[in-house]
Amino acid sequence: MVGLTTSAATLALGGGALIGLAAAALLLLNGRILGVSGILNGVLDRAAWPGRTAERGDIDWRIALLVGVVVGAGVAGWASGAPAPRTGFPGWALAVAGLLVGAGTRLGSGCTSGHGICGIARLSPRSIVATAVFMATGFATVYLLRHVLGALA
């Protein structure tokens, strides 16, 4: 069963096109791949291991982009009348999820944006494999939680 209105589908395609425009612009302007985990890790590593990682000039654009993501999402969400946010989701599950997503994207060198959009658009074999793997374990995890354990639904 599929549940979706035409306007939600159009917004999803349009939102995807905006994401693509952002990725294309970062490549054409700054020569960089738009991968949120990698961009964030550049800032984290600079803070955690100062002097041993990226040069100074490599940090400003990362921070500007990350701040832009938060502000852009906040403004667009407000302007488009996004539904009220999820409530009651357990904090322990958010913490476990964060640890796994942080460790997994570091070890796997990318996330949904870097591998799933930029990497596949470049036809990178690593990104195609990584995307297939994180989609598969994502599907399996939700199936297990919702339909076997009856948890977090």
Partner 1 sequence: MNGDHDARDHAPHHRAGLWPAFAAGLVGLLFGAGLALGGMTDARVVLGFLDLAGTWDPRLLLVMGGGLAVTALGVRLAERRGRPFLADHLQLPTARDLDAKLIGGAALFGVGWGVAGYCPGPGLAALAINPGEALVFVPALLAGSWLAKRSAR
- Cα 43 to chain centroid, rounded: 16
The one-letter amino acid code at 92 reads W
Closest contact distance (angstroms) between CB of 50 and partner 1 is 14
What are the phi and psi torsion angles at 32 (to 5°)? Answer: -115, 150
Residue with tokens 């700054």: 30
- Minimum distance, C-beta of residue 43 to partner 1, in the bound complex (Å): 10
Whole-angstrom distance, CA of residue 102 vs CA of residue 122: 24
Rg, Å, the chain Cα set: 18
Amino acid at 151: A
Contacts (Cβ under 8 Å, ≥6 apart) of 119: 33, 35, 110, 126, 127, 128, 130, 131
- With respect to partner 1, which residue has the nearer C-beta, 50 or 80? 80
